Amino acid sequence: MDVIEVIVAKRDSGELSTGQIDWVIDAYTRGVVADEQMSSLAMAILLNGMNRREIADWTQAMIRSGERMDWSALDRPTADKHSTGGVGDKITLPLAPLVAACGAYVPQLSGRGLGHTGGTLDKLESIPGWRASLSNDEMLAVLREAGAVVCAAGSGLAPADKKLYALRDVTGTVESIPLIASSIMSKKIAEGTGSLVLDVKVGSGAFMKTVERARELAETMVALGTDAGVRTVALLTAMDRPLGRAVGNALEVEESVEVLAGGGPSDVVELTVRLAREMLEAAGIAGGKDPAEALKDGSAMDAWRRMIAAQGGDPDAPLPRAAETTTVAAPASGVLTRLDAYAVGLAAWRLGAGRARKEDPVSFGAGIVLHAKPGDEVRAGEPLMTLHADEPERFGRALAALEGGYEVGAAGQDLLPLVIDRITA
C-alpha cells in the first residue's frame, strides 16, 4: 500500500476500499504512516466525507488495533450510555447506579473534560479517594459488587483512536462526522457492552450546533452500533441552555447526589429517568423496577454508594469547596429569556473547572451555581448566578465570558425541547 495513493483517493472524493482502510489505520498505529500524512487524510475525510461502509470499516479497523472487552461472565445484561458532551451534563453520575438498581450491569468508560465541556472523570475525582484507573479484573469486580462502574479507558482499548484523536485536536479536523462517529463507537463497541444509548447534544453548548447535524451524527452512530451487533438507540437532547443548576466538578457531584436522594432539578431528573428507561429497554429488561421508583425508594442511592466505595471513594466525605465566590445579579426585573450554554461553560472553564490542555489540572471546587433558568421570573439586583473559584483574579475573565450570554425580558423565548428526537435503526 502507498499512503499517498490513499490520501489522493479521498482528496479526489474517491471511496476507500476495506483493504486501504485496514492498512492505513494499522500503519498509522505502528508509526509507518506519519502524523503529517494522517492529518492530510483526516482533512480530506472532513471535506469529502465517507459512506456507511467506509465508516464501518474505519471503525472496525480502530477496534482491531487493540483489545475487545468481554462481559459474558456476568449473569445479567450490560447497558451503556454515551453523551457527546455539554455544560452541566452530569447525567452519567446518577444514571449508572440508577440503571444498576433496576437490574442491568453498567460498564462505562468515560473521559475528562476539555475546553468548555465537562468530563465525567473530573467530576468523580472530586470525591476523596475515588480512582478512575482500573484494570479489567478490577472493573469486573466492581460490576459484581455494585452493578455499575465508571472509569477511564485503558491504553489497550482502540489505541488507533487515541492517537488519531490527539492529531485531530490540533489539525482542525475534530468536526468531521465520520471521524467523530468512528472515534466514539470504536471505543464503545470495543468496550463489549451488549446495548448502548447515545445522548447527542444539540445547541450552543454542544459540538453539534444544529438539529440537522446532530441527527446526522446520531444516525451514523446508531448504524455503526447496529452493524457491529450492539443494540443502539440515540436521543437528541437540548444543550442551548445548561443542564441543571450546577456547572463544575464537585458542584455537579453534589447536584447528582440530590437527584439520587429523590430531589434535584427537574430537567436532570427527567433526562436521567428517560435515559435509564431507554437503557433498560435496549438491554431487554422489561417489567422490573421503574427508574423513577428507584430514585424514590433509595435503591439508586444505595447503588451509588456501593459504586463509589468500590472504586476507593468515600461517599460521605465533604466535597471540595472553592475559596472565593462572587455573585452576578439580575440586571432588571422580568423573565430570564436566555441563558447561553456556551457562555456559562466558557465562564466555568475560566474559573478553573476545565482545562485547555489534557495535562492541565482542574479546580474541583470551581464552577457556577445558577439561581434561575430560562423561563424563570427574576427581580433586579437579586442573584442570578454565583461564581466559584480558588483565585479571585479568575472572576474578571469569567464575567467577560458571560457578557451577552443572558437576557431578561418581558416574556420567555422558545427553547429546544429537552428531548428533541429519538433515533433507532
What pLDDT sits at residue 135? 93
Is position 183 annotated as part of the catalytic site?
yes
Please report the pLDDT score of residue 112 as a whole number: 82
Q: Which of 293, 316, 339 is the last residue of a domain?
A: 316
| 8 Å CB contact between 260 and 295 | yes
393 secondary structure, DSSP code:
G
Is residue 371 among the annotated active site residues?
A: no
Contacting residues for 292 by C-beta, under 8 A, at least 6 apart: 273
The answer on pLDDT for 417 being more than 80 is yes
Q: What would the grid cell of residue 378 be?
A: 427574576
State the DSSP string of 296-317: HSSHHHHHHHHHHHHTT--TTS
3-state SS, residue 423? strand
Q: What is the CATH number of the domain that holds 29?
A: 1.20.970.10
Q: Where are the beta strands (DSSP E) in 157-265?
A: 195-202, 231-238, 246-247
Query: Is residue 357 domain-shared with residue 403, that is, in the same domain?
Result: yes
Q: pLDDT band for position 155 (50/70/90)? A: confident
Say if residue 277 is in the same domain as residue 365: no
User: What pLDDT shows up at residue 116?
Assistant: 80
Give the mean model confidence (pLDDT) for residues 291-315: 97
Q: pLDDT class for 356, splitting at 50, 70, 90? A: confident
For residue 99, the Cα-to-chain-centroid distance in whole angstroms is 17
Residue 358, pLDDT > 80, answer no
Question: pLDDT at residue 283 above 90?
Answer: yes
What integer pLDDT is reported at residue 154 of this predicted model?
A: 83
Residues 174 and 256 in one domain: yes
Q: Which of 10, 168, 231, 245 is catalytic?
A: 168
Q: Within a 13 Å sphere around the CA of 132, how many CA atoms are in the beta-carbon half? A: 16
User: What's the average model confidence in pLDDT over 327-342?
Assistant: 96
Statement to judge: residues 293 and 330 lie in one domain = no
Q: Is 82 a catalytic residue?
A: yes
Average pLDDT (397-414) is: 92
Mapped onto helix, strand or coil, the DSSP state of residue 111 is: coil
Q: Is residue 37 part of a domain?
A: yes
Same domain, 296 and 334: no
Which residue among 89, 122, 161, 340 is the active-site one?
A: 161
Model confidence over 85-119: pLDDT tens digits?
999 999 999 999 999 999 999 999 998 877 788 88
Is 417 inside any structural domain? no
What is the chain's mean pLDDT, rounded?
95
Number of domains in the chain: 3
Q: Are 342 and 205 a contacting pair, CB within 8 Å?
A: yes
Together in a domain, 268 and 351 = no
Cα torsion 283, 288, 292, 293 to 10°: value is -150
Instruction: Please report the pLDDT score of residue 318 as a whole number.
Output: 97
Average of pLDDT values for 166-194? 92
- Kindly report, residue by residue over 212-245, the tens digit of the pLDDT: 999 999 999 999 999 999 999 999 999 999 999 9
Instruction: Tell me how far apart the 2 most distant CA atoms of the chain are, in Å.
Output: 68
Asked if residue 420 belongs to a domain, the reply is no
Name the DSSP class of 392: G
pLDDT of residue 354: 87
pLDDT at 359 over 80: no
Q: What is the mean pLDDT of residues 335-359?
A: 91
Residue pair 199/165 in contact by the 8 Å Cβ criterion? no
CATH number where 346 lies? 3.90.1170.30
| pLDDT given for residue 160 in this prediction | 94
- In this prediction, residue 288 carries a pLDDT of 85
Shared-domain flag, residues 233 and 379: no
Average pLDDT estimate for 325-342: 96
Mean pLDDT of all residues in 308-330 = 98
Structural domain of residue 105, as residue ranges?
79-316
Going by pLDDT thresholds of 50, 70 and 90, the confidence category of residue 357 is confident
Q: Examine the domain organization and report whether 190 and 236 are in the same domain.
A: yes
pLDDT exceeds cutoff 80 at 166: yes
Q: Which of 82, 241, 305, 394 is catalytic?
A: 82
In a domain, 60, yes or no: no
Catalytic residue among 162, 163, 187, 388: 187
| Average pLDDT over every residue of 192-205 | 96
Residues of the chain with pLDDT > 90, as a percent, come to 89
- Per-residue b/e over 319-347, b at no fewer than 16 CB within 10 Å? ebebebebebebeeebbbbbbbbbbbbbb
Closest CA to 123 of 170, 161, 158, 85: 85
pLDDT, tens digit, 9 for 90 and up, residues 16-50: 999 999 999 999 999 999 999 999 999 999 999 99
pLDDT at 412 > cutoff 80: no
Roughly how many angstroms between the first and final C-alpha of the chain, as a whole number? 35
Q: What is the mean pLDDT of residues 123-135?
A: 96
Residue 165 pLDDT greater than 90, yes or no: no
Here the CATH number for the domain that contains residue 128 is 3.40.1030.10
Same domain assignment for residues 254 and 116? yes
Model pLDDT, residue 174: 85
pLDDT digits (tens, 9 = 90+) for 61-83: 999 999 999 999 999 999 999 99
135 and 268 together in one domain: yes
Query: How many Cβ atoms from other residues are within 10 Å of residue 414's Cβ?
Result: 8
Indicate whether 58 pLDDT > 80: yes
Give me the pLDDT at residue 402, please. 98
From the candidates 40, 182, 183, 195, which is the catalytic residue? Answer: 183
Mean pLDDT for 237-256 is: 98
